Every structure is written in structure tokens, then in C-alpha cells.
């Protein structure tokens, strides 16, 4: 280690902020360029150089030069840049691994699920084909669990009209489900 480097090291270790600032100004741009050659990303290169100088100042009391100051700075930036790339590769590998594991956790639809979706589509299509009040009466009875008398009160119609609309709705379903399954199905009133 040459004398000027030893002098700079001692001043910075002693807390001389001006000497540290001179060192920063002198090397910042060239160290950023050096890191950018490795990283091919100037923003990340600047972050690495800034973090290096932050840690350099923070740990100044334990800092000890064995080489020239110039060699130490460039070697440190090179090592930090390579460490960053290794960390990035590990993160990407982990992200791919997690993504793959997540895909395996998603259950593949079995035949029963597919049939249920098809049946729900048939039900929705059938409800859309029938007159509005028939559809409403059917939904209130079968999906909401309401009794005929409750439906009649809510819709301000007679219980007989509710029965008639339910009968029509069930006829629509018998026809749709027969077309869907190819069989005659019994649907209870």
C-alpha cells in the first residue's frame, strides 16, 4: 500500500467526512461504469456503488487496506455486482419453483366438475328462456327455499298462480334436461 492510500485510510477511519466525500466524488462515476459492465443496468449499478460507499463509511473504523485503494474499490464493486447477480438468479429460480408448485396445487377439473358446470349452464339457459315471472317463482322456491304462500305474498299474486308458474317452469326444465341427457327425467313439483 502506498503512502497516499495509507493517509486517506487513516483520515477516513478518523471520521474525516471531507476526505470521504473527495473519495466518493473521485471514484463514483468510474465505479458505476465498472458495475454497469457487469450488470448491464445503470440504475442497479448506481445502487450497488451507493450501497458500497454507505457501508464503507459505516464500517470505516474496521476498514483496512491490504492493496491499493483503487484496487480495493474496483474489486469490492466487482464482488458486490457478482453477488447481486447470484442473488437475482436464486430469486428467479425460487420464483419459477414456487410458480411450478402453485400450478401443481391447482386441481385439474375432473369429469364430475365439468358435468356440473355444463348442467349449471343448461339451468341458466332454461331460466332465461321461460317467462320472467315463471323464472322468478322457480328461483324463489328452489334457490331461496320460499313456500308458495310466501312467494304469492311477495309477488302479490295468488297461490294458484304460483302453482301454475311452477308447473310451467318444471315443464321447461323437463324439456331442457331431456335434450341435455337424452333421457326422460323425473322432476318433482
35 and 56 in a single domain? The answer is yes
Whether pTM exceeds 0.85? no
120 and 86 in a single domain? The answer is no
20 with 48: CB under 8 angstroms?
A: no
88 and 122 in a single domain? The answer is no
Q: C-alpha cell of 84?
A: 447481486
47: containing domain: 3-105
At which residue does the C-alpha cell 322468478 appear?
A: 136
Q: What is the pLDDT of residues 77-112, one digit of tens each?
A: 999 999 998 888 887 777 776 666 565 655 555 667
Q: Is residue 188 part of a domain?
A: no
Q: What is the pLDDT of residues 115-155, one digit of tens each?
A: 778 778 888 888 889 999 999 999 899 888 889 999 999 99
12 with 63: CB under 8 angstroms?
A: yes
Q: Is residue 142 part of a domain?
A: yes
147 and 55 in a single domain? The answer is no
85 with 76: CB under 8 angstroms?
A: no
CATH number at residue 166: 1.10.10.10
Amino acid at each position: 500500500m502506498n503512502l497516499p492510500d495509507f493517509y486517506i485510510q487513516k483520515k477516513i477511519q478518523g471520521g474525516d467526512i471531507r476526505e470521504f466525500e473527495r473519495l466518493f466524488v473521485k471514484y463514483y462515476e468510474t465505479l458505476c461504469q465498472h458495475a454497469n459492465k457487469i450488470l448491464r443496468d445503470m440504475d442497479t449499478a448506481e445502487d450497488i456503488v451507493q450501497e458500497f460507499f454507505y457501508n464503507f463509511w459505516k464500517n470505516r473504523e474496521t476498514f483496512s487496506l491490504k492493496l491499493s485503494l483503487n484496487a480495493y474499490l474496483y474489486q469490492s464493486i466487482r464482488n458486490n455486482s457478482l453477488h447481486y447477480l447470484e442473488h437475482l438468479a436464486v430469486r428467479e429460480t425460487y420464483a419459477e419453483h414456487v410458480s411450478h408448485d402453485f400450478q401443481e396445487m391447482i386441481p385439474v377439473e375432473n369429469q364430475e366438475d365439468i358435468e356440473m358446470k355444463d348442467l349449471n349452464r343448461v339451468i341458466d339457459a332454461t331460466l332465461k328462456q321461460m317467462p320472467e315471472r315463471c323464472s322468478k317463482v322457480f328461483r324463489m322456491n328452489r334457490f331461496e327455499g320460499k313456500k308458495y304462500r310466501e312467494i304469492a305474498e311477495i309477488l302479490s299474486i295468488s297461490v294458484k298462480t304460483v302453482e301454475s308458474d311452477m308447473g310451467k317452469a318444471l315443464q321447461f326444465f323437463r324439456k331442457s334436461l331431456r335434450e341435455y341427457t337424452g333421457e326422460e327425467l323425473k322432476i318433482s313439483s
